[in-house]
Structure 1
Amino acid sequence: MTTIDPSRRLAAAVRTQSAAARERTVAPAAAGSPPRAAGRSPCTVSAAMAQRIAALAPQDPDRPRKAVRIYLEAELAREFGAGLLNDPEFPALLDAVQQRLQEDAQTGGAVEALGHLLLAGKVTPA
């Protein structure tokens, strides 16, 4: 039996769901290279993500959902550039992406599993 890595499925789903966001955030002239903030590497985003997930209160029943949101934020920033984090519409985009992922029958289970893996420290972003 082949196992399915929830983090890979979720990353693929995020890329699919956010294709329209790329069209809006990347200027047509720079379509081949998404912007990245100076000095902000994917490793920096990963370290910040791990710290934020570790800081979630252990007694919070909403921890898995919050961990997935932090993961989504980091992956979208990595994919489209850290400048996206300053966009006032970014929280609404995160809400929509996370809701859409959780509503889908196949992806919903992977999202839940990913939340638990993130909290256990067993997932590291690409």
Structure 2
Amino acid sequence: MIKIYHNPRCSKSRQGLAIIEDSGKEFETIKYLEQPLSVIELESIISKLGVKPIDIVRKNEAIWKSDFKGKILSDKNIIEAMVNHPKLIERPIVVNEDKAVVGRPPESITEII
């Protein structure tokens, strides 16, 4: 089943959700700010994306700039930061089976649905 990790306050995330809704396919919406991801869930998503953890960090968030920017962090440290501060996770992320994509631009979602 398709899953969208969604933040309703984000315009790109809302656009991504609309693309999935318009597809007519069954999907699940996960509001990750309300239902924080576990380390295992986030590691699975990162693996499906085929990227390094730092690649899905929102580096302009205040918490990143104040607590993490400029520090030497392992992948594990970065994942823990995203689990503890879900605002740091890029959005939206759409997962379909063993594939995933960050919906920036939102049209990239069509590649996996």
Q: Provide the TM-score with structure 1 as the length reference.
A: 0.29
Task: Say which one has the larger Rg.
Answer: 1
Relative to its length, the structure with more helix (as a share) is 1
Higher share in strand = 2
Q: Taking structure 2 as the reference length, what is the TM-score of the superposition?
A: 0.31
